[in-house]
Amino acid sequence: MATDLKNLSVFSTDELPDVSLRRFAILVSEWNTEVTEALFSGAYQTLLQHGAKAENIIRGNVPGSYELSLASQWFAQRNDIDAVIALGCVIQGETKHNDYINHAVAQGLTNVGLKTGKPVIFGVLTPNNQQQALDRAGGKHGNKGDEAAITAIKMLGLQQQVYSKF
């Protein structure tokens, strides 16, 4: 669904699991800082609002979005981390570099999740320009960081459901 039709900060919170004992890693790209700091703020606050404890949220910074995959793997391999949220912003430029970066990050994060069996959430904006990024980082279309945090919580709930004995 196009974000023009959906606010990223509006989501169902029905039956969210208890995450008070869960530990989250939030990885933040330093490229496009104005945007990624807003994404971090959204993800962090959303986790707190839905039961996560501040001391159970670890932040890691990476130089750019390309580095999110490896850093996510490092954190996902830790026994004390339950879910990883990767936040970045790759804005369309004059060249096709964004296509290569976006594909590599999406594939890399998917591979980390499959390899570790832990939720690894793609919270990377891929807008055409700075304004579109700001609109999705707390602006008129909500905050992708909020959506990423709720996705992590919901995936932990599904994981619990899948692996619990009936």
pLDDT digit string (tens) for 6-61?
Answer: 787 777 878 899 999 999 999 999 999 999 999 999 999 999 999 999 999 999 99
Tokens found for residue 1: 């669904």
- The structural architecture, per CATH, of the domain 24-164 is 3-Layer(aba) Sandwich (3.40)
- pLDDT at position 117 is 98
pLDDT tens per residue, range 123-142:
999 999 999 999 999 999 99
Does the pTM exceed 0.75? yes
Residue 69 predicted with pLDDT over 70: yes
- pLDDT at position 2 is 57
Q: Which helix (H) or strand (E) holds 143?
A: strand 142-143
Give the annotated binding-site residues for 5-amino-6-(D-ribitylamino)uracil. 31, 65-67, 89-91, 122
Tokens found for residue 95: 């060249």
- pLDDT at position 4 is 62
- Catalytic choice (50, 97, 103, 141): 97
pLDDT tens per residue, range 74-83:
999 999 999 9
Average pLDDT, the chain: 94
Give the annotated binding-site residues for (2S)-2-hydroxy-3-oxobutyl phosphate. 94-95, 136
> Where are the domains positioned within the chain?
24-164
Distance between CA atoms of residues 10 and 117, nearest Å: 27
Ramachandran angles phi, psi of 25, nearest 5°: -110, 130
Quick one: pLDDT band at residue 3, thresholds 50, 70, 90? low
Mean pLDDT over 93-105 rounds to: 89
141: annotated active-site residue: no
Distance between CA atoms of residues 165 and 14, nearest Å: 22
Give the annotated binding-site residues. 31, 65-67, 89-91, 94-95, 122, 136
Mean pLDDT over 61-73 rounds to: 98
